[in-house]
Structure 1
Amino acid sequence: MCDYSLHHVASRPAKVSDKLVTMELTKSSARGFAAVGELGAKLVIHDSPPKVAVCLLPGTELAFDDDVRYDRAFSLFGKARVNHKVARFRQIDMNDPHVQHDALEFPNGQVLKVTQLVAGQTATVLQLPVATEHPEHIET
């Protein structure tokens, strides 16, 4: 659900209509999401790391305020842009426990790891995935 190397970072689940910002997380080298209103007193992103990360479930849909910017694989090539503002959260590379799994999939099929996202971008949670009921919880 939340794969930001969060061993030392508090987290909470995302809610519909949450306004999120991409950030470098406290006590972690990873990037992730925090709620805009939960950043602390300072508004400068790098001086005010989030105290609480916001975790997304696979299938959560986000709408970014602008086209999504990301770091290319080699920093020599700078930043790039996805020409989409809507993405669905998913997890990838689950067979490798040594890599980050959290990713966003865009309508054109492009998949970016959350750690590639440029810090400071804002998005709104459009919808959460449908919760599936476990058979033992269904009343007959």
Structure 2
Amino acid sequence: MCDYSLELMASRPAKVGDKLVSTRFPDTITRGFAAADDKERNVAVCLLPGTELAFAEEVTSTFGRRRSAGHKVARFRQINQGLRSAYHDALEFPDGQIMLLTDLSEGQYATVLQLPAGEPRISMEDAQREESWAVL
């Protein structure tokens, strides 16, 4: 899913093995994911709740001051469902910490490891072997 703030943007669903980058989309104040090879960063890659991601480095936020989440893996989820005009897209880390996607620092690379329930998956080792994609 893509947050309400990206409803007017071109988008596509994420697939297992996708290489993503956190970005701020043109003409919006919202951050989300685009394909790492999309130089224009004009197509949002939408994640389903439960999608698992492996990041190339520890995830950082720019909300307030730059801070690290202390993790390189996360599960996508949605929060604030009862609030219509609030951001919903978030990452949940293994320790239960939650970070809004729109608070992610730009330029962080991630690989889609697994989609929710019954979708194919790739191993963390396979994702780490493909480090050359992160150097653009």
Report the alpha carbon displacement of residue 39 of structure 1 after superposing the two structures with TM: 2.1
Q: Does 1:110 align with 2:63?
A: no
Q: Note if 1:83 corresponds to 2:70.
A: yes
Percentage identity across paired residues of the two chains: 55
Q: Distance in 1 between matches of 2:103 and 2:42?
A: 21
Q: Determine which structure has more spread, i.e. the larger CA radius of gyration.
A: 1
Deviation at 1:27, TM superposition (A): 2.2
SS at match of 1:27: coil
**CA 118–33 in structure 1, closer or farther in 2 if over 3 Å, else same:** same
- What is the SS of the residue equivalent to 1:93? coil
Q: Superposition RMSD on alpha carbons, in Å?
A: 1.4
User: C-alpha displacement at 1:28, in angstroms?
Assistant: 1.4
In the superposition, the TM-score normalised over structure 2's length comes to 0.83
Report the CA distance between 1:82 and its aligned residue.
1.1
The reply on whether 1:64 has 2:55 as its aligned counterpart is yes
1:51-107 deviation line (CA, Å, top 9, x unaligned): 2110000000000000001023xx3xx110011100000000100001110000000
| Corresponding residue of 1:138 | none
Q: Aligned pair count?
A: 119
- Structure 1 unmatched ranges of 5 or more: 41-49, 133-140
AA matched with 1:66: E
Give the whole-Å Cα distance in 1 for the aligned partners of 2:93 and 2:20.
17
The equivalent of 2:27 in structure 1 is 27
2:37 aligns to what SS in structure 1?
A: helix
In 1, the alpha carbon distance for the partners of 2:26 and 2:9 equals 7
Contact 1:14 1:54 in 2 (8 A): yes
Match of 1:13 in 2: 13
